[in-house]
Amino acid sequence: MTTYQAPLRDMRFVLNDVLQIQKYDNMPGFADASPDVVNAILDEGAKIAEEVLHPINQSGDKEGCTWDNGKVTTPTGFKKAYETFVEGGWPALTSDPGYGGQGLPNVLGVAFNEMVSAANMAFCMYPGLSHGAYSAIHAWGSEEQKKTYLPKLVSGEWTGTMNLTEPHCGTDLGLMRTKAEPQDDGSYKITGTKIFISAGEHDLADNIIHLVLAKIPGGPEGIKGVSLFVVPKFFVNADGSLGARNSVSCGSIEEKMGIHGNSTCVLNYDEATGYLIGEPHKGMRAMFTMMNEARLGVGLQGLGQSEVSYQNAAAYANDRIQGRSISGTKYEDKAADPIIVHPDVRRMLMDQRAFNESARALLYWTALHGDISHKSPDEKEREKSDDYMGLLTPVVKAYLTDKGFAHAVNAQQVLGGHGYIQEWGMEQFVRDARIAMIYEGANGVQALDLVGRKLAANGGRGIFAFIAELGSFVDDHSGNADLKDYVDAVSVGKGYLEEATNWLMENGLSNPDNAGAASTDFLHLLALVSLSYMWGNLAKAAHDKIANGGADDPFYANKLKVGRYFLERMFPDAEAHLAKLKSGAEPVMALDDAAFLAS
């Protein structure tokens, strides 16, 4: 009963008018991304999201994946949808043309993935994990490994997985027990149990390429002794055909809160044959190179679930009649007013909308910096974009999923009791959105990565550059009456960010627990300030359009109304985050560990 309509107008506005990605046509792939190509790709992407993937979202949740003696069957329609996805060439969108890819900018891939993820989050995990495996092999594999695996991953004929977690270790991979014994032929025998492996086994593709972290005996202790291996489900013959089955098997699939259409597997490696990727004991470095991309891919899931749940809540609020407006009847012809007239219902929808539109801008902005960091001919520009990508990726991952979930909860609330029953589909958005706060590094881990690593990297080069960019926005537009409220917010936000950063630099070194205790509030503060900056840019682009023939287009006028809402109703939280983080570690750490176990 739910519907999804890709927000194409808004996506184009961000890509073409705000970020103006065509400006970057001196970078590989961008020259091909003319507005026409961008529009055509988004149109086609919207079609598959709306017409193929969303119609099997609710049924996929209800049916779920089934496990039978090691075989996993995806819900009805998933196999056919995946075929359509592959036939459309979607797995190749941003991949290396040397292996059959289209080589388009990653920012465009992120826009496409937003639609896939909004339409069917469980489905999006299958190609999503494949792309992660593709990236790892592409970055660190040998020429032979690349030739063997990449073309089939790019075509979508095979899928991939990432194997990190074990029953006793997730965040702390140094505790890993999976072993890789070297063999005479240069391969390794992998033995151990991996859990929570998304898309670990299924019926969508002919082969599954597992990327597996394991320890080679005799290597360094802990995290420094972890290596990365590729373990194909079926061996690949020299001619590219599939050979015998490798000894990796799916022991069970998890029963979970949501994303029932995705198989979350326990994978047992029983002397499975694996091939080392890159150097021994350098597995974590290989993981980290693809971490930013993967984390953006989870951040967009938060936005996607907020967007699709918003659309369904807004439709319900315009349709469901109940009570009369407290400021006087608005729909005389109806037995009651639609609930959209009630300010508190509208508050929930406006919260979502003001988030969605600026979160989209921040996501694409960060993804664009990812492209620049790899592809710009200018070394300084690459460095700065790499700093931004590193700094903002944990923000996009954690903030967009924290709020994406909270907004899906709000959307559910708009439907009252109907939001709680399965039929209407709203509670699925909540259950699905919930996982994005956890996987690919729980949001608390993102916050620690931000304050413990990204903030301090290169003497704070990234955060100081970002603060300077905020300052430039303020300087550039301080005389512009149209943008005054945005300039004021960015200016205030810049001050908060400087204060918080200085506080962390002064107090985090003397007691690292101060940094840990401040981490989540700092991340949310940086997110709100970033969104105020995005709103500044969105408003500027809207005003430019209004001044150049767009005065009668409600899209631009509405954009400014939503921006105003952000400033008045969402930005005030920034100051509270600042106050909380400056209270330091002491209140957080005061209780003894054991005191948490008794009242």
Question: Measuring CA to CA, which residue among 157, 423, 410, 143 is closest to residue 277?
Answer: 143
CB of 486 to a copy of itself, least distance (A): 14
**The residue to which tokens 């890789």 are assigned:** 180
244 vs 591, which CB is nearer to a copy of itself?
A: 591
From the list 114, 166, 357, 440, the catalytic residue is 440
Q: What residues form DSSP beta bridges with 160? A: 209
Nearer to a copy of itself, 150 or 451 (CB): 451
Single out the residue of 95, 301, 412, 507 in contact with a copy of itself (rule: CB under 8 A).
412
User: At 268, which amino acid appears?
Assistant: N
In the complex with a copy of itself, the residue whose CB is nearer, 213 or 447, is 447
Rounded to a whole number of angstroms, the minimum distance from the CB of residue 553 to a copy of itself is 12
Neighbouring residues of 282: CB distance < 8 A, sequence distance ≥ 6: 227, 228
Among residues 285, 382, 461, 564, the one that binds a copy of itself under rule CB under 8 A: 564
Q: Which of residues 146-185 bind a copy of itself (CB under 8 A)?
A: 165, 169-172, 174-175
Is residue 554 a contact point for a copy of itself (CB under 8 A)? yes
Would you list the DSSP string of 51-89?
IIIGGGHHHHHHH--EEETTEEEPPTTHHHHHHHHHHTT
Specify whether the backbone of 352 is left (phi greater than 0), alpha (psi in -120 to 50) or beta: alpha
Q: Least CB distance from residue 246 to a copy of itself, whole Å?
A: 25
Q: Residue 327 Cβ, how far from a copy of itself at the closest point, in Å?
A: 5
Whether 440 is catalytic: yes
CA dihedral 287→289→290→292, nearest 10 degrees, is 120
CA–CA distances in Å: residue 409 to residues 220, 402, 415: 46, 11, 10
Closest CA to 577 of 501, 529, 524, 527: 524
- Residue 322 in the binding site for a copy of itself (CB under 8 A): yes
Q: How far is CA 201 from the centre of its chain?
A: 23
- What six digits make up the tokens of 16? 């073409």
Q: What is the per-residue DSSP string for 515-583?
A: HHHHHHHHHHHHHHHHHHHHHHHHHHHHHHHIIIIITT-HHHHHHHHHHHHIIIIITTHHHHHHHHHTT
Length of the chain: 599
Stretch that binds a copy of itself, among 111-119, 233-241, 289-297, 583-591 (CB under 8 A): 583-591
The backbone torsions φ and ψ at residue 158, rounded to the nearest 5 degrees and listed phi first, read: -115, 155
Measured in whole angstroms, the distance separating CA 268 from the mean position of its chain's CA atoms is 28
Piece of the chain touching a copy of itself by CB under 8 A; list 47-55, 284-292, 413-421, 541-549: 413-421
- 211, 163 contact by CB (below 8 A): yes
Please, which residue, 153 or 197, has the CB nearer to a copy of itself? 197
Q: How far is the CB of 107 from a copy of itself (least distance, A)?
A: 19
- Nearest residue to 233 via CA among 177, 163, 316, 326: 163
Under 8 Å between Cβ of 363 and 110? yes
Is residue 63 at the binding interface for a copy of itself, with CB under 8 A as the rule?
no
Q: Does 196 bind a copy of itself (CB under 8 A)?
A: yes
Mask: binding to a copy of itself, 484-523, rule CB under 8 A, as x and -? ---------------------------xxx-xxx-xx---
Contacts with a copy of itself, 417-456, as mask; x by CB under 8 A: x-xxxxx---x--xx--xx-xxx--xxx--xx---x----
Note whether 220 binds a copy of itself by CB under 8 A. Answer: no
Q: How far is the CB of 523 from a copy of itself (least distance, A)?
A: 10
Q: In angstroms, rounded to a whole number, what is the distance separating the alpha carbons of residues 124 and 561?
A: 33
SS3 category, 299 = helix
Residue 343 in contact with a copy of itself, rule: CB under 8 A: yes
Does position 256 bind a copy of itself by CB under 8 A? Answer: yes
Helix (H) or strand (E) holding 190: strand 188-198
Under the criterion CB under 8 A, does residue 568 sit at the interface with a copy of itself?
yes
By the rule CB under 8 A, 468 interacts with a copy of itself: no
Measured from the CB atom, is 335 or 481 closer to a copy of itself?
Answer: 335
Whose Cβ is closer to a copy of itself: residue 151's or residue 338's? 338
Task: List the one residue from 97, 98, 416, 484 that touches a copy of itself (CB under 8 A).
Answer: 416
The residue (of 14 and 104) whose beta carbon lies closer to a copy of itself is 14
Which range of residues in 50-58, 85-93, 235-243, 560-568 is near a copy of itself by CB under 8 A? 560-568
Q: Does 593 interact with a copy of itself (rule: CB under 8 A)?
A: yes
Q: What is the 3-state secondary structure (H, E, C) of 294-341?
A: HHHHHHHHHHHHHHHHHHHHHHHHHHCECCCCCCCCCCCCCCCCEHHH
Span of 137-145, 240-248, 333-341, 387-395 interacting with a copy of itself by CB under 8 A: 333-341
CB of 167 to a copy of itself, least distance (A): 9
457 binds a copy of itself (CB under 8 A): no
Shortest Å, Cβ 582 to a copy of itself: 9
Question: Which positions are annotated as active-site residues?
Answer: 440
